[in-house]
Amino acid sequence: MAISLRNVFRRKARVALTLTALALGGALFMAVISVKASCSHTIERMLDDSGADATVQFAQSYRVERLLAATERVPAVVKAEVWKRWSVRLKLADGGERSLLLVGVPPGSEILNPRVVSGRELLPGDGNAILLNTAIAADEGIKVGDDVRFDLDDEETIWMVVGLVHNVDSRSFVPFDALSRETGSLNRGSQVAVVSAGHDPAARRQLLDDLRTAYVVHRLEANDFSSADETQERIRARFDVVHYILVIISLLAAGVGGIGLMSTMSINVVERRREVGVMRATGAMSVAVAAIFVAEGLVVGLLSWLFAVPISYPGARLFSELVGQALLRTPFEFAYSLGGVGLWLAIVIVVSVLASLGPALQATRVSVQEVLTYE
């Protein structure tokens, strides 16, 4: 071990380059894992805007009383609200248009809990007020207090932005009665949000089965049933591809560092053939000779991990902000992954051992006579 520690810093420039490659690869890997953790944390927080255990979308609008009567007949239902979904076109300042999904909710809803980042929530008595999605507001330069114009069934309507709301599916919220009035469908809704007595996946699946049966009995045509678990998985799947690409890139960077370490160890073996010959001539066994080079590579790997950890934290925070802005138009809520730190430690140990093992075995296969006569 003393020989290994001494030889690590024999060629300072060489080991510095190897440490840099491994440390940067490790910092990138830990940053990517933290981005994934930040994304998952953000999604969980954003999905909390709806406390519904299940949502049901209907093929057409039905009277609110009829929907509630059918829904509340299910024993597991604790609370139910009728919402209205409507697609509109937002008129832009440059004369263009942009599609937008409005969700009409009862002001003071006990199920909806939107993440308002600016302004206020919808209040009872609000007329044409809107909680506008933050991504759309950022894209179009819209602020709280601005008026927005919608093309709603070929008629232009004006709404005032009272708040900006952050969510992952670009929904904007308006008062149920105001949207019903503008669409000419008073007291009619197309979506039911349901809170059940049980909140585990099994209870939610049973809730969906009971709701399907209830709506068939009451001749209500529902075309989409979603539990909170299914919604969360569906939204996470949208970001998984990005995560996998980032992880592959970080592993490639780690592979480059491993190749650099292998090259360094191979050069060290060549330069120290005489030293190896002396050790073999004085009785050193092949296992001991190999252990010297493996320990040397392992020390380099562990040092790179120590350097990578403090670098990874600010890098992960910056990376999370950039990826969040690119995907959601807002930074992720940062969560540093300690699991990623431990995972990279395990990876760098394996990479270091494997990268050193080849050169170490090469050193044990050379005869004593050959290494002692080497110039």
Report the pLDDT value the prediction gives residue 260, as an integer from 0 to 100: 79
More confident residue, 50 or 67: 67
Report the pLDDT value the prediction gives residue 174, as an integer from 0 to 100: 93
**Has residue 302 got a pLDDT over 80?**
yes
Report the chain's mean pLDDT, rounded to a whole number: 83
Average of per-residue pLDDT across 305-327: 87
More confident residue, 196 or 283: 196
Strongest mean pLDDT among 68-82, 86-100, 151-165: 68-82
Report the pLDDT value the prediction gives residue 68, as an integer from 0 to 100: 93
The confidence band for 375, taking pLDDT boundaries of 50, 70 and 90, is low
Nearest to 144 by CA among 117, 124, 184, 125: 117
Average of per-residue pLDDT across 224-248: 80
The confidence band for 277, taking pLDDT boundaries of 50, 70 and 90, is low
The confidence band for 334, taking pLDDT boundaries of 50, 70 and 90, is confident
* pLDDT tens for each residue of 96-136: 888 888 999 987 888 888 888 889 988 888 889 999 988 88
Q: Are 136 and 98 in contact (CB under 8 A)?
A: yes
What lies within 8 Å, CB to CB, of 255 at 6+ separation is 25
Average of per-residue pLDDT across 332-357: 86
More confident residue, 346 or 153: 346
Report the pLDDT value the prediction gives residue 100, as an integer from 0 to 100: 87
**Has residue 175 got a pLDDT over 90?**
yes
More confident residue, 110 or 276: 110
The distance between the two most distant Cα atoms of the chain, rounded to a whole number of Å, is: 98
Report the pLDDT value the prediction gives residue 144, as an integer from 0 to 100: 92
Average of per-residue pLDDT across 280-309: 79
Report the pLDDT value the prediction gives residue 264, as an integer from 0 to 100: 76
The owner of tokens 């003071």 is 108
Give per-residue burial for 189-224: e unless 16+ CB within 10 Å, then b: bbbbbbbbeeeeeeebeebbebbeebbeeeebebee
Q: Which of 13-22, 274-283, 318-327 has the lowest mean pLDDT?
A: 274-283
**Has residue 281 got a pLDDT over 70?**
no
- Confirm whether pTM is higher than 0.95: no
**Has residue 344 got a pLDDT over 80?**
yes
Portion of the chain with pLDDT greater than 90, in percent: 22
* pLDDT tens for each residue of 73-86: 999 999 999 999 98
Average of per-residue pLDDT across 317-328: 81
For the beta carbon of residue 16, count every other beta carbon within 10 angstroms. Answer: 11
Average of per-residue pLDDT across 174-200: 89
Q: Are 151 and 91 in contact (CB under 8 A)?
A: yes
